[in-house]
Amino acid sequence: MPVSVLGWGKRTLWGTCPTRAPPSEFSGEWHDVFPRALALLFLLGVNRRLLIVEDDAVLRKHLARLFTRHGFEVVHANTCREAAVALRVERFDVLLLDVNLPDGDGLEMVIALDEAARPHHIVVTTAMCTAEVQARATQLRVHRILAKPVDVQLLLAALAL
């Protein structure tokens, strides 16, 4: 199936692009455009950097393996402190974050990040997907909130794969 890279207003592999404005005048938020850009990078074979912040070692290992197979360069952290250090030292395109971590709340860590260290795309996973967690995540411009146990297809879709 042919893919139109500059397909503004056309149906493409990663969805329908807006018809009302060219890319330079697109008035949407960054999180509306990012999944398309991420898909374009995937098509071009560019490695994306992913930070997985998960305290469950088995789940963290399986997620790292899954995303490595999908072309991500994966770094993982067990705690908020490890994640904060990784985000200060390195740049990441995507952050996959658990809310309940041993040393704190994952969403509080996102609040503490400066804009320069903040990944463009944040996906939150939580075992307790309450209205309060959803409201806090929305205020923080989190791209997607997924309830645990996480459906792999939903997770891949959240990262535009």
Identity of the amino acid at 31 = H
Query: Looking at residue 42, what is its pLDDT?
Result: 53
Q: For the whole model, what pTM was predicted?
A: 0.69
Q: Where are the alpha helices (DSSP H) in 1-56?
A: 30-44
Q: Is the model's pLDDT at 102 over the cut of 50?
A: yes
- 89-93, 110-114, 122-126 — which is least confidently predicted? 110-114
More confident site: 11 or 60: 60
pLDDT in tens, 28-43: 454 455 556 555 555 5
Cα(78)–Cα(128) distance, integer angstroms: 19
Q: Tokens 């879709």, residue?
A: 157
pLDDT in tens, 43-84: 554 568 999 999 999 999 999 999 999 889 999 999 999 999
Cα(111)–Cα(95) distance, integer angstroms: 13
Query: Looking at residue 12, what is its pLDDT?
Result: 39
Domains of the chain plus CATH, in order, are 1-46 (no CATH), 47-158 (3.40.50.2300)
Cα(46)–Cα(38) distance, integer angstroms: 9
* DSSP bridge partners of 145: 124
3-state secondary structure of 73: strand
Query: Looking at residue 141, what is its pLDDT?
Result: 87
Query: Looking at residue 116, what is its pLDDT?
Result: 77
At residue 117 the predicted structure's pLDDT band, cuts being 50, 70 and 90, is confident
At residue 25 the predicted structure's pLDDT band, cuts being 50, 70 and 90, is very low
